[in-house]
Amino acid sequence: MAHVVTQPCCNDAACVSVCPVNCIHPAPHEPGYGTAEMLYIDPVSCIDCGACVEVCPVSAIVADIDLTDETAPYEEINAAFYSNGNSEDANVVRAQTKKVDSDEKLRPLKVAIVGSGPAACYTAEELLLRRDLAVEVNMFEQLPTPWGLVRYGVAPDHQGTKAVAELFQRTAGRRGMEMFLNVTVGKHVTHEELLESHDAVVYAIGASGSRRLDIPGEELPGSHSATEFVAWYNGHPDFADSVFDLSADRAVVIGNGNVALDVARLLVSEPQALAKTDMATHAVDRLAGSNIKEVVVMGRRGPAQAAYTTPELLALSQSSSFDVHVDMDESELDAYSRAATEGNDPIATVKLGILRKLASSVPSPGKKRIVLRYLASPLEVLGDDHVEGLRIAHNELVSTQDGRSQVRPTGVEEDIECGLVLRSIGYRGVPTGPLPIEPVSGTIANHGGRVTSESGACLTGVYVAGWIKRGPTGVIGTNKKCAKDTVEKIIEDHRAGRLKAPVRAPENLRQLISERQPDYLNFAGAKSIDAHERSLGRERGAPRIKLIDLNEMLRVAERPNV
């Protein structure tokens, strides 16, 4: 599949800079750009990443499979630009591709996908856009609302990131796609019944569990996982009634990844700003009455090893609603900067440059603040019947014989007074049906996406994609390649005759689900909820006001059985 530029093209060229394979021309620096009627995508080089779609200000770029009768000629127009020598003038780096012919001997493929987040949607997209065979996809989600991490994980003040849901909506509306929302696999339909109804079952259920510290006091009231806090402020129905003690002046976030920065930022953000996001109303109200004035974000390693990304750190440093303090003097940061430069680590060098500016900044009296602290490990959550503090160990970095750096306690301990502790030290998968979670990796055991048994043998027709496959790494778009790799395994097994044909008719599956879960929803129901939330949001000047109560969602939704 390739993308196509159509008539609305305004030659803005924002698409040119984001294309990873240089397939959009003429670019602003190339001859002919100033007189070009429009820009053109090379169908041979396009890798279907969709990056250009996101940045086009006039929505002129569409996938070739989505062209209408009116826009279909643009497929030829785009290709023609590269067939008359323009590609040589434009220095196009053409990808090596081959024509894929439809295999008429291969029976249609029917796939169940468990989950509706990024990995699930990318998997569905990869399957539905196959041109070499017919594919039908059934997607199963235990909540009435789809999109998983995009809805319930991405910070509410990151609306640009949430915009990827528009691509997923397009996938959900494709021919051959059916959604079963408010349906729990293992309760309303079993793993075995899915296999009876499909050639393959793909688990793309993410990693919703959180890793533990395993230190004394971790179970005290006021000590929580950041996962729970994120789900609470994002309006996840299972966490809407969670209670967080915001009465103390200080909170501590253990971990220094992007999620740690997210929760710290939202704890000290202005309530008026939060009300303009899609943060759950109950969270906006609670945070408006918060007494927290300082959030310490603590990592056990040094600043050069921090897991948060440069854009997240930069955005944090540019906020005007709170101060950011670095608990390390400039001379120490200079030493880390020299080491990063000598080690040819440009990303770490940029991060350290931002931290140096923060370290030299003058704090504003009376302003809330975030403190970035390094080389500290939690030893014990302090308190009798609730969190009163956190005992930490000071660390140092030492070099090993093979040149790597290793954390070593210095022997110095310190108590930090606080009333809330949030651990943000990683995610892990939660068991679903008969497929166990690996104790160390927190994933479902698999070989390249094919789920394996305890003996290591591949289970026929069972696959994984996304975090439950590879662990909680990468960003939302990283799941696209992960999904593509899994789909290739499915197609390979299908061609080799290793998949068992469904024995249950599609209408039998729908009837079974209707009987066990009369309140199941399809994509039309999800769109009803989406439209209602957006309508409520317009009254508040927000993108949406999320529905939290399941009964209210069902009342609003259009339902197949009603």
Is 301 annotated for ligand binding? yes
Residue 368 covered by a domain:
yes
Whole-number pLDDT of residue 483: 94
Q: Cβ distance 351 to 306 under 8 Å?
A: yes
| Same domain? 306 vs 401 | yes
Say whether 422 sits in a helix, a strand or coil.
strand
Question: Which whole number is the average pLDDT over 230-250?
Answer: 97
Look up the CATH number of the domain holding residue 353.
3.50.50.60
Distance CA 4, CA 60 (A): 8
pTM: 0.83
- Report yes or no on 493 lying in a domain: yes
Same domain, 204 and 254: no
**467 marked among binding-site residues:** yes
- Per-residue pLDDT, 76: 82
Please indicate if the annotation marks 466 as binding a ligand: no
- 561 appears as a binding residue in the annotation: no
**Mean pLDDT, all residues of the chain:** 90
Tell which residue, 368, 34, 383, 449, has the closest CA to residue 203. 449
Residue 105 or residue 376, greater confidence = 376
Model pLDDT, residue 121: 96
Do 325 and 405 share a domain, yes or no?
Answer: yes
**Does the residue 510 lie in any domain?**
yes
101: in domain: no
Task: Grade residue 93 by pLDDT with cuts at 50, 70 and 90.
Answer: very low
Phi, psi for 101 (deg, rounded to 5): -90, 145
Query: Pairing mode, if any, of strands 61-63 and 3-5?
Result: antiparallel
- What's the token pair of residue 162? 């949430």
Residue range of the domain that includes 235: 212-425
Same domain? For 290 and 381 the reply is: yes
Residue 392, annotated ligand binder? Answer: no
Residues 253 and 349 in one domain: yes
pLDDT digits (tens, 9 = 90+) for 47-75: 888 889 988 867 889 999 888 877 887 88
Residue 30 has pLDDT above 90, yes or no: no
Interval 351-379: pLDDT, tens:
888 899 999 888 899 999 999 999 999 99
Compare 108 and 334 and report the one with higher pLDDT: 108
259 is in an annotated binding site: yes
Range 327-338 average pLDDT: 78
Kindly indicate the confidence band of residue 204, based on its pLDDT and cuts at 50, 70 and 90. Answer: very high
Q: Clarify whether residues 204 and 286 are in a common domain.
A: no
* pLDDT band at 94; cut points 50, 70, 90: very low
Domain with residue 13: its CATH number is 3.30.70.20
Identity of residue 25: H
Averaged pLDDT, 308-320: 88
Cα separation, 230 vs 279, in Å, equals 10
Question: How does pLDDT run across 419-456, given as a tens digit for each residue?
Answer: 999 999 989 998 877 888 888 889 999 999 999 998 88
Q: Which range is most confident: 89-98, 145-154, 304-313?
A: 145-154
22 annotated among ligand-binding-site residues: no
Answer whether residue 562 shows pLDDT above 60.
Answer: no
Look at residue 305 and tell me if it is in a domain. yes
Top pLDDT among 451 and 405 is at 451
Is 164 assigned a ligand-binding role in the annotation?
A: no
Over residues 454-463, the pLDDT tens digits come to: 888 999 999 9
Instruction: Indicate which CATH number applies to the domain containing 460.
Output: 3.40.50.720
pLDDT digits over 141-174, tens only?
999 999 999 999 999 999 888 888 988 999 999 9
Q: Is 256 annotated as a binding residue?
A: yes
Q: Do 263 and 338 sit in the same domain of this protein?
A: yes
In a domain, 561, yes or no: no
Among 61, 89, 117, the domain-final residue is 89
Q: Which two tokens stand for residue 74?
A: 């643009």
Three-state SS for 218?
Answer: coil
For residue range 265-298, what is the model confidence (pLDDT) as tens digits?
999 999 999 999 999 999 999 999 999 999 999 9
Mean pLDDT over residues 189-193, rounded? 96
Residue 95 included in any domain: no
**Rounded distance, CA 271 to CA 517, Å?**
39
Same-domain check for residues 345 and 229: yes
* Half-sphere exposure of residue 152: CA atoms within 13 angstroms, side-chain side: 24
Report the distance separating Cα 189 and Cα 95, nearest Å. Answer: 43
Distance CA 543, CA 535 (A): 9
Asked whether residue 103 is assigned to any structural domain, the reply reads no
How far is the C-alpha of 346 from the C-alpha of 512, rounded, in Å? 56
Show Cβ contacts of residue 335 under 8 Å, excluding neighbours closer than 6 positions.
none
Do 301 and 221 fall within a single domain?
yes
Residues 108-121 have pLDDT tens digits of 999 999 999 999 99
Alpha-carbon span 292 to 422, nearest angstrom: 13
525-540 residue pLDDT tens: 999 999 999 999 998 8
Give how many domains the chain has, as a whole number: 3
Question: What phi and psi, each to the nearest 5 degrees, are found at residue 452?
Answer: -115, 155
Going by DSSP bridges, is the β-strand pair 223-225/420-423 parallel, antiparallel, or unpaired?
A: parallel
Which of 89, 119, 142 represents a domain boundary (last residue)?
89
Query: Model confidence at 34, in pLDDT bands (50, 70, 90)?
Result: low
Q: Which of 381, 400, 425 is the last residue in one of the domains? A: 425
- State the Cα–Cα distance between residues 322 and 294, nearest whole angstrom: 9
pLDDT band at 349 (very low <50, low <70, confident <90, very high): confident
Q: Are residues 128 and 68 in the same domain?
A: no
Question: Is residue 64 located within the same domain as residue 116?
Answer: no
Q: Residue 544 contacts by C-beta under 8 Å, 6 or more apart in sequence?
A: 278, 530, 533, 534, 536, 537
Structure tokens given for 290: 């918060």
312 labelled ligand-binding = yes
Q: Are residues 33 and 59 in the same domain?
A: yes
| pLDDT over 90 percentage in the chain | 62
> Is it the case that residue 95 has pLDDT exceeding 50?
no
- Say if residue 33's pLDDT is above 60: yes
